[in-house]
Amino acid sequence: MRIISYNVNGIRAAIKKGFLEWLKTDPADIICVQETKAQKENVDHTRFNELGYYDYWFSAQKKGYSGVAVFTRIKPDHIEYGTQHKVSDDEGRVLQLDFGDIRLINAYFPSGTSGEERQKFKYEWLDEFFTYLNKLRLQYPKLILCGDYNIAHKEIDIHDPKGNKKSSGFLPEERVWMDKFFEAQWIDSFRHFCADPHRYSWWSQRFPGVRLNNKGWRIDYINVTKGLKDQLIAAEIYPDVKHSDHCPVYLEIES
């Protein structure tokens, strides 16, 4: 089973930049995208079906905002929309699919960059989601959690750790949450295979040359519970795929 997680920063904008042509290259069996910024009916989703993908969408109530979708060549056994956390579900943040004994969770974690109110919401969301995941594992020991976490975990995951120590996405409290997350028997699948520095998945668009000079952050992940450790085959990041300010991250797992 080959999985990609990709914050497309607007699915319609990504399509204009060649997203569908990229899908034709067969990059994975399952493509999990975040920040679709669209309702399903606003997109010609039949084009995904023509390429051999089933498509599942969970959009925000607010138009042009947030939202997740999954395009999969493997038909899931079950789809779960949201987590029953109303504010999160209203923003279209979590979509879950079952493939045999594996549950795949596609999540778009909140950003706190717009101000204190959203940063507070981000902390509340993280705590709520952590509790939700712990309960979910009792029913589904084999979980895959992919998405834009909007947090760079360690200094190796960000180009300028000192300059960003007060930036949302690299705040001490956020990094402590990531510590707690991995201590709770989750595996960072990319770091399981690769300890190299300067491997990033997002580059700010606020400053020219940032991506060209690889001044990025690794905030996109495909993490798995320890019950899947022996099934991990490969993980990668694809910075040369450019339909967004993020790039795809990849995991291959024996299903």
Structure confidence by residue, pLDDT tens digits, 221-240: 999 999 999 999 999 999 99
Contact 69, 11 (CB under 8 A): yes
Token couple for 169: 């996405």
Domains of the chain with CATH codes: 2-253 (3.60.10.10)
* Predicted pLDDT of residue 111: 97
* Predicted pLDDT of residue 64: 96
Quote the distance between the C-alpha of residue 122 and its chain's center.
Answer: 15
CA distance 211 to 198: 12
Catalytic site positions: 148
Contact 146, 223 (CB under 8 A): yes
∠169-173-177 over CA atoms, to 5°?
A: 90
Contact 188, 221 (CB under 8 A): yes
Quote the distance between the C-alpha of residue 72 and its chain's center.
Answer: 15
CA distance 169 to 164: 9
Residue 48: DSSP 8-state: H
Q: From edge to edge, which strands make up the β-sheet containing 232-237?
A: 54-58, 68-72, 30-34, 2-7, 249-253, 232-237
SS3 state at 234: strand
* Predicted pLDDT of residue 172: 98
Give the torsion sign (CA, 107, 66, 46, 244).
negative
* Predicted pLDDT of residue 207: 87
Does the pTM surpass 0.95? The reply is yes
Using 70 as the pLDDT threshold, list the residues of the chain that sit under it: none
